[in-house]
């Protein structure tokens, strides 16, 4: 399929209805990947994050919990020292 769209003043392009009917992933606020192929073409795809880009939420919540325990025990520790120690453990 080929269709025509206009690049507006703020470099925005509206996806024509006939294209939206064919690609269900193109919804408002969806994140897309844009690739320039040869300086003349744009390829727009749904964004897929790499496995290493995904956040390990279990690890994040565990670190928050540990920080709260240290705080609750009344230990006085400087945040900068805590960060240095935490980074050295990994």
* Fold of the 1-49 domain: Pemi-like Protein 1; Chain: D (2.10.260)
Nearest to 3 by CA among 37, 15, 12: 15
Where are the chain's structural domains?
1-49, 55-88
Total-model pTM: 0.49
| pLDDT tens, the chain, 90 aa long | 889 999 999 999 999 999 999 998 988 888 899 999 988 899 999 988 776 667 787 888 888 888 777 665 666 667 787 788 888 887
d(CA 72, CA 66): 10
Residue 41 is given by DSSP the state: -
Residue with tokens 């996806």: 15
Nearest to 4 by CA among 12, 17, 16: 16
């Amino acid at each position: 399929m080929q269709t025509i769209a206009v690049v507006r003043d703020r470099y925005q392009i509206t996806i024509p209805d006939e294209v939206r009917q064919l690609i269900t992933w193109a919804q408002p606020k969806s994140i897309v990947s844009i690739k320039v192929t040869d300086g003349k073409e744009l390829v727009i795809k749904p964004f897929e994050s790499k496995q290493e880009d995904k956040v390990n939420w279990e690890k994040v919540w565990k670190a928050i919990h540990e920080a709260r325990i240290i705080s609750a025990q009344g230990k006085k520790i400087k945040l900068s020292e805590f960060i240095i120690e935490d980074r050295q453990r990994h």
